[in-house]
Amino acid sequence: MSDQAARLRAMIQQKRAFEKMVVNQNIPQEGQQARVICVTSGKGGVGKTNFTLNLAIALSKENKRVVIIDADLGLANIDVVLGVLPKYSLLDVINGDRSIQEVAVRGPNDIKIISGGSGLLDLIDMPQEKIQRLIEKFNGLNQMADIILIDTGAGLSKAVLSFVLAAHEVIIVCTPEPTAITDAYAMIKTIGMRDRDKTIKLLINRVESTNEGKMTFEKLQNASSRFLNVNIEKLGYLTEDIHVSRSVKLQNPFLLQYPSSMASKNIEMIAQRILYDQVPQENFNSSKGFFSRVISLFR
């Protein structure tokens, strides 16, 4: 086991050096862009927020600078799970004089959290020159973060779809329940219709066994490739674990509260996989940055 861990670490170090080289070569003018990963789901309540928060902490333990954007336009979530009350949201960046740095709240392990508020709805009627200034402000995030995780609301609203399509990668969270599977399938279908080449990764949460996770993944993968011609990748499984809901009650992420729980071990594996995964270079090659893409998709 420790041999395996050492091998994995060595591979990750090699990969990091390579990543730095390649990413820098491909984005000469704009400086380094943060890797943007959007976490979403078809059905609500499948574990997106807990997954996102704990993943952020696991990645920051690996010395990545992580910013979470809480983009649930209904009820903001991350702050509730953490028990923090952000004073400002993206709305203050959009309408006010706040910079993106000022609205970020510091969370555990130095992760930063930005609350989406319902501010994005204001973008629809915003004049172009104001939008341009806003995009410049948003791009300030690239200086703060190596990885931006976006926790969206469930379902297929226009806002969710804009984040999904603009992100470099999408993680769809699903559980083995049939309703969650059909809703995840509908989500994959909608994404596939807009962008067949999007990198879509599947995280199966609340599995009772590896086999259950495997079967759920295969069901979705087979249906997606056969009927939608969309390829999805397996990110991993997260076990059904009582420590998850216990940590929610304590408003402390399970990775910190119960570091040796099964859920924490799963998350750490997943974080390693994300760091090891090759980010397709063409995902970074768009002439527009992430935020300009979100805004043009949203308007």
Ligand X SMILES: Nc1ncnc2c1ncn2[C@@H]1O[C@H](COP(=O)(O)OP(=O)(O)OP(=O)(O)O)[C@@H](O)[C@H]1O
Residues engaged in binding ligand X (CB under 6 A): 41, 44-50, 72, 77, 154, 205-206, 238, 240-241, 244-245, 248, 263
As measured in angstroms, the least distance from the Cβ of 201 to ligand X is: 16
* Closer residue to ligand X, CB minimum distance, 42 or 192: 42
Tokens for 48, please give them: 């997106």
- What does 245 interact with, of ligand X, Mg ion, none (CB < 5 to 8 A by kind)? ligand X
Residue 47 CB, shortest distance to ligand X, in Å, is: 3
Nearest-angstrom CA–CA distance, 213 and 219: 10
Shortest reach from residue 155's CB to Mg ion, in Å: 12
Other CB atoms closer than 10 Å to residue 31's CB: what's the count?
10
User: What count of other Cβ atoms lies within 10 Å of the Cβ of residue 196?
Assistant: 11
Residue 261 partner contact from ligand X, Mg ion, none using kind-dependent CB cut-offs of 5 to 8 Å: none
The distance of closest approach from Cβ of residue 254 to ligand X in the complex, given in angstroms and rounded to an integer, is 9
Pairing of strands 105-106, 112-115: antiparallel
Q: Cα–chain-centroid distance for residue 235? A: 12
Are 167 and 197 in contact by the 8 Å Cβ rule? The answer is no
CB of 258 to ligand X, least distance (A): 11
List residues bridging with 147 in a β-sheet.
Answer: 35, 66
Rounded to a whole number of angstroms, the CA Rg of the chain reads: 18
- By a kind-dependent CB cut-off of 5 to 8 A, residue 70 interacts, out of ligand X, Mg ion, none, with none
Per CB under 5 A, residues contacting Mg ion are 48-49, 77
Q: 105 or 184: whose CB is closer to ligand X?
A: 184
Nearer to ligand X, 48 or 293 (CB): 48
Q: Which of 50, 162 has the CB closer to ligand X?
A: 50
Question: From ligand X, Mg ion, none, which one binds at residue 56 (CB under 5 to 8 Å depending on kind)?
Answer: none
Interacting residues of 260 by C-beta distance below 8 A, sequence separation 6+: none
Query: With contact defined as beta carbons under 8 Å apart, do 247 and 47 qualify?
Result: no
**Of 99, 115, 201, nearest to 151 (Cα)?**
115
Pick between residue 81 and residue 275 the one whose CB is nearest to Mg ion.
81
Strands 112-115 and 66-71: parallel
Query: Is 136 or 177 the residue whose CB approaches Mg ion more closely?
Result: 177
Shortest Cβ distance from residue 155 to ligand X (Å)?
A: 8
Q: With CB cut-offs between 5 and 8 Å by kind, which of Mg ion, ligand X, none does residue 46 bind?
A: ligand X
Q: What is the dihedral of CA 40, 44, 90, 125, to 10 degrees?
A: 90
Binds 50: which of ligand X, Mg ion, none (CB < 5-8 Å by kind): ligand X
